[in-house]
Amino acid sequence: MTNTEFATLRRSIEQLRHSVAGVRNAFGDAPEVRRLINDLERLEIDASELASAEPLRQPGLPGRIPEHVVIPDTPLDETMFSDADDEGLGGYHGDRS
């Protein structure tokens, strides 16, 4: 985010603060109003932390490409499951052959 975007965010939070103050004047200290005030404080904290944080990637630049993992189509070794129960079927308690 650019400085302009953070300034816009801060102005929006300040406008929201004025709106919440109006709601508090109208509804008093209702639980819903307290939650709004708590949410507003959380927004301010998160915005401050983001302003000082390093972005994960720069705008306009490609992000880190995730590692490509190949999963083989070959059957798994049956001995890996020799002592396992079949979940959802009540278990299998006998010879698997």
Q: Which residue has the higher pLDDT, 1 or 46?
A: 46
pLDDT-derived band at 79, boundaries 50, 70, 90: confident
Q: Which residues are CB-neighbours of 78 under 8 A, at least 6 positions away?
A: 96
**Residue-range domain boundaries for the chain:** 3-52
pLDDT at residue 93 greater than cutoff 80: no
What integer pLDDT is reported at residue 63 of this predicted model?
61
pLDDT mean over 45-49:
92
Q: Which amino acid is at 82?
A: S
Angle at which helices 31-52 and 3-27 pack, to 10 degrees? 170
What integer pLDDT is reported at residue 88 of this predicted model?
62
What integer pLDDT is reported at residue 13 of this predicted model?
95
pTM of the model: 0.54
pLDDT mean over 20-40:
96
pLDDT mean over 21-29:
96
